[in-house]
Structure 1
Amino acid sequence: MMLRTCQVLCSQAGPSTGAWQALSFDGGAFHLKGTGELMRALLVLRLCAWPPLVTHGLALQAWSQRLLGSRLSGALLRASIYGQFVAGETSEEVRGCVQQLQTLGLRPLLAVPTEEEPDSAVKTGEAWYEGNLNAMLRCVDLSRGLPENPGPTGNILMQLKVTALTSTRLCKELTSWIRRPGASLELCSERLAEAMDSGRDLHVSCLSTEQNQHLQASLSRLHRVVQHARAQRVRLLVDAEYTSLNPALSLLVAALAMRCNSPREGGPWVWNTYQAYLKDTYERLRRDAEAADKAGLAFGVKLVRGAYLDKERKVAQLQGTEDPTQPDYEATSRSYSRCLELMLTHVSQRGPMCHLMVASHNEESVYQATKRMWELGIPPDGPVCFGQLLGMSDHVSLALGQAGYAVYKSIPYGTLEEVIPYLIRRAQENRSVLQGARRERELLSQELRRRLLGWGRRVPH
């Protein structure tokens, strides 16, 4: 019934005259997954809810290798955490994972598991960034070469981490300069866009000669990735990071958007990420949406709650500055709801000129989005899509996918050595999400009891 309702919505320009039918996130769609997958998911989510494992993950991994040896330790990781959250190591393994997702009505959002940690002195030098550039270009090609998504849109999306291509130290310097009065003339998106196009040296007075050279090389790397992605028809979703970096990242995204998000080019090809847990997000999102509309540019947004809450608060406390984050989870949810309403209204007014990913594991946020889409006449497989992490909130993802919505799973891939540190960092950043996945664990347990013990029968939807 829900699928038929969604198909009707796709053909309408306004809200349906029938009654609104909400999606059910009761785990009913788990019937699509094998028992082994459900058991692994339950085990891994329980492990990830254990704080010491997340806090000391890297140390525990090293201890496991010393005690069990690399081969046995690696096998255990592949059978558990790696198998739950990672698509695989080779292109063939990634394609197999994607094909399995597509049978469930889900789509891939590939992510290269590499970035520079703030203030890290380990990964420096242009050669490291050039290596990351090559990895990003290969990810574009891999995204393009994956099986096509069914349906009328089938947008190919990929994540882009800017700090894999440019130094966090440079981003901090640029952010510090951007926040100064009168700095907008020297550091503006137009200048950066011109430097990207021409390849001519860009001199910024607040930077040293070495930093200016690194800025030029970084602009070149970003330009190459975006040009290649656009040629391959792959849309890039730029990750947000820390508040000490985000103004610089947004400036770089704005420069790229000026060249790539023209409606004539079928944009938006470059999307920015907005973190609802920051106090100023709603106003920034409103200004950016209006600026894109005024400039006649397509506008792409990934809306998230945010992952750096604890670190942001600690930094503000150490520096004696105002805490940039919302005071509690309820305030963050209200912020997310306001930003979501703002963007859905823009989508309904601008149509294909405005794209939105509702990147949330929260059932209430997904419910709000689907209901407002119905009320505003936005088709389920149109310019609004949904996103969750691979291996998490499958009861939400599967319900969306089976109802005909465009839903993507963020998919890291690579070797154990590359991906496990990345996963542990993501787990530390998403600690509240992992610890709050109690409902998903309960639904998994319920489905497994039904299968293994015959406690009740579920009729597939």
Structure 2
Amino acid sequence: MLWTCRVLYSPAGPSVRGWQPLRFDGGAFHLKGTGELMRALLVLRLCAWPPLVTHGLALQAWSRRLLGSRLSGALLRASVYGQFVAGETGEEVKDCVQQLQRLGLRPLLAVPTEEEPDSAVKTGEAWYEGNLKAMLRCVDLSRGLAETPGPAGPILMQLKITALTSTWLCKELTSRVRGPGASVELSPERLAEAMDSGKDLQVSCLNAEQNQHLWASLSRLHCVVQHARTQHVRLLMDAEYTSLNPALSLLVAALALRWNSPREGGPWVWNTYQAYLKDTHEQLRRDAEAADRAGLAFGVKLVRGAYLDKEREVARVQRTEDPTQPDYEATSQSYSRCLELMLTHVSRRGPLCHLMVASHNEESVRHATKRMWELGIPLDGPVCFGQLLGMCDHVSLALGQAGYAVYKSIPYGSLEEVIPYLIRRAQENRSVLQGARREQELLGRELRRRLLGGA
């Protein structure tokens, strides 16, 4: 099977033997130990239980009071933390990544930081500056991991912009760029020029405090990308809520103007597009064409999206139009259209256009591999795949063993940092966790085969 896939997906184009789809039937689980499979099955079943996800933070606090921090921490490390987190120290992260590399998988490190609007500690400039230092360390760690034996390829890192700038500023910028009288002072060109020159930026539609924070935020973002470019690490910027995304896209566009030119060998800055939003395909089309006209490299992480319930609730309360697709089928169709658009751009622009197919959906992944074959896109070229660490391993392993570039999104850090982050991500990704039933079935089948000798 491995030999067949490598022939089919050679850069020379489609094989005369026809299309041979990958099988996501858990056959690649033979690469993992029995203990790993047992933990995965237990944790995935727990995470599919809605009360645990809904009340996760309260249950964690209750567990610490009842069992003590030492025993409670040990249980978390043996279960949820061990399943979804690479570790706390650089050595622990390196060990985790080396295990993945032996399976044909690559790391996509993510610093588990996020703003808490009600916390004075986690919204001040000192907090953002601390996050900047953490991001720079993550760049260095990502670079260091690339020097270990394993699959070679672009070094990628995940970055959350609201760890470096406030949500209140992003909402203000969104209101300024979304309306019909959008301020020309907030163009990507002007922001890029300010970052590159180092000169203070003053925007007339913002007050003094907002201007000061905007300039500090731009400086932090520019610093991270500059360091990442020096270390040959490409940055994948996360998308968030629709109340923030226009501002986030503005900042990404400004960074792209500076760092995604062909002479830089980019794209070094990628944006994330959420297929569950109604306007995503049109936005992606405009951005791809704009990058093409400007001669810029273009990097995209394509996801379904994680904020469905919150977006619908906000639209209901504010009595505005629901920005999300009406159902799962419509979201899948949107994802397929966006995927087709990007694969076509990749086949036409080659190394100037990069795509991460970030999906746990078997059909979306299978469709992507088929279109890559039909378009003559090489397996280990400008298209890669992405899944979360600890989830969807039956897809990740099958892709990796067939020679595709597969990245696992890997948070790391202490229990105190990561567990609240994981719980919030679980609350945002309920449908993904509850939809992991097939993976649970495959894990159970493999464990029965090993332990009971079942067919």
Q: Distance in 2 between matches of 1:149 and 1:383?
A: 22
Q: Which amino acid aligns with 2:265?
A: G
CA distance 1:184–1:289, change in 2 (3 Å):
farther
Q: Secondary structure at the match of 1:386?
A: strand
CA distance 1:370–1:105, change in 2 (3 Å):
same
Q: CA contact under 8 A between 2:336 and 2:364: conserved in structure 1?
A: yes
Q: Distance in 2 between matches of 1:316 and 1:144?
A: 42
1:117, distance to aligned residue in structure 2 (A): 3.9
Matches within 5 A, 1:53-452: 53-117=52-116, 121-148=120-147, 154-452=153-451
Q: Secondary structure at the match of 2:186?
A: coil
Q: Secondary structure at the match of 1:372?
A: helix
Q: Distance in 2 between matches of 1:173 and 1:321?
A: 18
After superposition, what is the alpha-carbon deviation per residue over 1:91-135, rounded to whole angstroms, capped at 9, x for unaligned?
000000000000000000000000114565551211000000000
Q: CA contact under 8 A between 1:88 and 1:415: conserved in structure 2?
A: yes
Q: Which amino acid aligns with 1:357?
A: M
Q: Distance in 2 between matches of 1:11 and 1:401?
A: 15
1:207, distance to aligned residue in structure 2 (A): 1.5
Q: Distance in 2 between matches of 1:124 and 1:438?
A: 38
- Stretch moving more, 128-137 or 117-126: 117-126
- 1:459 corresponding residue in structure 2: none
1:7, distance to aligned residue in structure 2 (A): 3.0
TM-score (norm 1): 0.97
Q: Distance in 2 between matches of 1:213 and 1:94?
A: 36
Q: Distance in 2 between matches of 1:354 and 1:35?
A: 40
After superposition, what is the alpha-carbon deviation per residue over 1:318-363, rounded to whole angstroms, capped at 9, x for unaligned?
1110000000111000000000000000000000000000000000
1:150, distance to aligned residue in structure 2 (A): 6.9
Q: CA contact under 8 A between 1:148 and 1:154: conserved in structure 2?
A: no
Q: Which amino acid aligns with 2:205?
A: C
Q: Secondary structure at the match of 1:21?
A: coil
Q: Distance in 2 between matches of 1:75 and 1:273?
A: 35
Q: Distance in 1 between matches of 2:275 and 2:183?
A: 25
1:10, distance to aligned residue in structure 2 (A): 5.4
Q: Distance in 1 between matches of 2:123 and 2:289?
A: 38
Q: Distance in 1 between matches of 2:220 and 2:4?
A: 45
Q: Secondary structure at the match of 1:158?
A: strand
Q: Distance in 2 between matches of 1:223 and 1:101?
A: 31
Q: Secondary structure at the match of 2:239?
A: coil
After superposition, what is the alpha-carbon deviation per residue over 1:49-97, rounded to whole angstroms, capped at 9, x for unaligned?
0000000000000000000000000000000000000000000000000
- Stretch moving more, 329-338 or 183-192: 183-192
1:204, distance to aligned residue in structure 2 (A): 1.6
Q: Secondary structure at the match of 1:186?
A: helix
Q: Distance in 1 between matches of 2:372 and 2:116?
A: 38
CA distance 1:377–1:148, change in 2 (3 Å):
farther
Q: Which amino acid aligns with 1:263?
A: P
Alignment pair present for 1:49 and 2:51: no
Q: Secondary structure at the match of 2:236?
A: strand
1:149, distance to aligned residue in structure 2 (A): 7.3
Q: Distance in 2 between matches of 1:151 and 1:169?
A: 42
Give structure 2 stretches of 5+ with no counterpart: none
Q: Distance in 1 between matches of 2:119 and 2:295?
A: 39
Q: Distance in 1 between matches of 2:341 and 2:117?
A: 32
CA distance 1:315–1:424, change in 2 (3 Å):
same
Alignment pair present for 1:24 and 2:23: yes
Q: CA contact under 8 A between 1:9 and 1:379: conserved in structure 2?
A: no
Q: Which amino acid aligns with 1:66?
A: R
Count, aligned residues: 455
After superposition, what is the alpha-carbon deviation per residue over 1:216-250, rounded to whole angstroms, capped at 9, x for unaligned?
00000000000000000000000000000000000
CA distance 1:84–1:267, change in 2 (3 Å):
same
Q: Secondary structure at the match of 2:184?
A: coil
Q: Which amino acid aligns with 1:431?
A: R
1:11, distance to aligned residue in structure 2 (A): 4.2
Q: Distance in 2 between matches of 1:229 and 1:285?
A: 25
Q: Which amino acid aligns with 2:216?
A: A
Q: Secondary structure at the match of 1:278?
A: coil
Q: Distance in 2 between matches of 1:151 and 1:9?
A: 23
Q: Distance in 1 between matches of 2:191 and 2:185?
A: 10
Q: Which amino acid aligns with 1:356?
A: L
After superposition, what is the alpha-carbon deviation per residue over 1:364-396, rounded to whole angstroms, capped at 9, x for unaligned?
000000000000000110000000000000000
- Stretch moving more, 317-326 or 198-207: 198-207
Q: Distance in 1 between matches of 2:81 and 2:229?
A: 31
Q: CA contact under 8 A between 2:121 and 2:127: conserved in structure 1?
A: no
Q: Distance in 2 between matches of 1:9 and 1:140?
A: 35
1:186, distance to aligned residue in structure 2 (A): 1.5
- Stretch moving more, 151-160 or 68-77: 151-160
1:12, distance to aligned residue in structure 2 (A): 2.9
TM-score (norm 2): 0.98
Q: Distance in 2 between matches of 1:264 and 1:150?
A: 29
Q: Secondary structure at the match of 1:200?
A: coil
Alignment pair present for 1:14 and 2:13: yes
Q: CA contact under 8 A between 1:277 and 1:332: conserved in structure 2?
A: yes
Q: CA contact under 8 A between 2:278 and 2:325: conserved in structure 1?
A: yes
Q: Distance in 2 between matches of 1:55 and 1:152?
A: 38
Q: Distance in 1 between matches of 2:236 and 2:353?
A: 14
Q: CA contact under 8 A between 1:297 and 1:353: conserved in structure 2?
A: yes
Q: Secondary structure at the match of 1:273?
A: strand
Aligned-pair identity (%) = 87
